[in-house]
Amino acid sequence: MQHLLDAKAIDLSLAYDDSISGYSEATARELGKDGWNARTLQIYSHAGTHMDAPAHFGLTGTIDAFEPQQLMGPAWVVDLSDISAGALISPQQLGGIADQVQPGDSLLLRTGWSRHRHDPSTYRNQLPRISTELAQWCVEKGIKMLGVEPPSVADVNDLEEVTRIHQLLFRGGVIIIEGLTNLSALSRPKVWLIALPLKIRAGDGAPARVIALEIEV
């Protein structure tokens, strides 16, 4: 247990503020007037760092149905920092990691795309995305979670593509994490990933706090 307590924990989650599309807040209580501070939050279920459930694209499975064991485990960090805008990511781009992946491992794709989040037209409309071949590879390899920095694993302006990629991953049991940040802070090729979405009854997705522990895995 001590090695977990001593491990370097790296936050891979965006902070929610008015720069996040789909998030807003209003004052509900004030310390001077009511004796405490509180805010009313309104959050789109796929805003900021979030996780998708199969129900997001019409399949069976909601965000509250994920078991805790599904939301943690070893994850490979794939360096794709030289990726081009709009590029399709293939299995070949995983390099040597592709030969080391075991069933139940997860993938974190480090593209540096989070740096564009204050430029919505680039962040959302020119994102690098998962190819059909990579989605199929993830399913065949038994990937547990697939984490990406862009707000989606596929082109949100192409309904056919975004539906196909999400459904392919969902049907293969791959959990999708989108809107990650700070992957550049990861120094190990493999980390222990923990991704905890809000437990929303019958939810199609939810904001999530995602962290990586830099321990031997």
DSSP string, 5-21: HHSEEEE--PPPSTTST
H or E element: which one contains 43? strand 38-43
CB 46 within 8 A of CB 205: yes
Exposed e or buried b for every residue in 99-132, given b needs 16+ CB within 10 A?
A: eebeeebbbbbbbbbbebbeeeeebbebbbbbbe
What pLDDT, on the 0 to 100 scale, is given for residue 2? 53
Q: How far is 206 from 24, CA to CA, in rounded Å?
A: 15
Contacts of 69 (CB under 8 A, 6+ apart): none
CB 154 within 8 A of CB 131: no
What pLDDT, on the 0 to 100 scale, is given for residue 216? 85
Neighbours of 40 (CB within 10 A): 10
* 3 state SS of 143: coil
- The ranges of the chain with pLDDT < 70 are 1-2
Q: Is 73 exposed, middle or buried (0-12, 13-18, 19+ CB in 10 A)?
A: middle
Q: List the beta bridge partners of residue 213.
A: 9, 192
What pLDDT, on the 0 to 100 scale, is given for residue 1? 46
pTM of the model: 0.96
Dihedral sign, CA of 17, 19, 20, 21?
positive
* Residue listed under structure tokens 């199609």: 204
Tell me the residue range of the domain where 65 lies: 2-214
Q: How far is 93 from 205, CA to CA, in rounded Å?
A: 28
Q: Is 96 exposed, middle or buried (0-12, 13-18, 19+ CB in 10 A)?
A: exposed
What pLDDT, on the 0 to 100 scale, is given for residue 115? 97
Q: How many domains does the chain have?
A: 1
Dihedral sign, CA of 44, 50, 53, 57?
positive
Q: How far is 85 from 48, CA to CA, in rounded Å?
A: 20
CATH code of the domain containing 71 = 3.50.30.50
